[in-house]
Amino acid sequence: MTEATIAESNKPLIDVRTLAPAERHPRIFNTLNALAPGSSLLITSDHDPRPLHYQLETKFPDKFAWEYLEQGPAVWRVEIARLDSGCDCCCGSH
């Protein structure tokens, strides 16, 4: 096992190829919401998950980082990290 494989094995992994289409985004968003700041999630798909990326940027601007680990043609792998963006409350502190 390489160091990258060992590090990735400690992260939640969702292989959307095994899920019904209607279950994919809800499962991903539920997992992302449960992540601690600085943690990340790995996603494996049989297509470019660009619509998911757009949803993240639109609904949660500056809350998540997106990195392609593999870009097709048969498999796409993405790492989504929850950013530590400070306090989300109304006090304005960061």
| Domain boundary assignment for the chain | 13-82
CATH topology for 13-82 is Translation Initiation Factor IF3 (3.30.110)
User: What are the residues whose beta carbons fall under 8 Å from the beta carbon of 84, sequence distance 6 or more?
Assistant: 37, 38
**Crossing angle, helix 50-59 and helix 21-34, to 10 degrees?**
40
pLDDT tens column, 69-81: 999 999 999 999 9
- The structure's pTM equals 0.79
The CA distance from 83 to 38, in Å, is 5
Q: For 8-41, what is each residue's pLDDT tens digit?
A: 568 999 999 999 999 999 999 999 999 999 999 9
Q: How far apart are CA 28 and CA 31, in angstroms?
A: 5
